Amino acid sequence: MEEVEFKRRVPSKLKFIKEISKDDVRVRFFGVVTSMDDTGVMTVDDGSQITVIAMDAENIKVGDTVMVVGIVMPYEEGVEIRGEIVKKVKLNMQLYKKFMEIWGEADVKDSN
């Protein structure tokens, strides 16, 4: 019997868009779709910054709150996200942002 080898993906890191850097490999964030075009490119705003997502996402429209998991694609002016998963979610973005701020402060305190 032939042995099947599975490749593990790099885990995604939960971040605000403004925290994503060229050194990141795979990220996850939540935001609101602010624009889309016919080529599968959309912009998403998480309240900290807006980023471009390259992915043909079905059943997603402007105004939807989404979770994005994707690969960071660095280029001269910054980064773009090549979406692997874009899923519509029900999420209160104000509460999410507050949670992330508190969670970030807890992470800093725990590392000292």
Distance CA 1, CA 47 (A): 52
Query: Cα separations (Å) of 36 from 31, 95, 106?
Result: 14, 25, 36
CATH match of 13-110 with 2.40.50.140: yes
**pTM (2 decimals)?**
0.80
Residue 103's SS3 state is helix
Residue closest to 44 by CA, chosen among 103, 91, 105: 91
pLDDT (tens digit per residue) in 50-92: 888 888 777 899 999 999 999 999 888 888 899 999 999 998 8
pLDDT (tens digit per residue) in 7-41: 788 889 999 899 999 999 999 999 999 999 888 78
Distance CA 79, CA 24 (A): 10
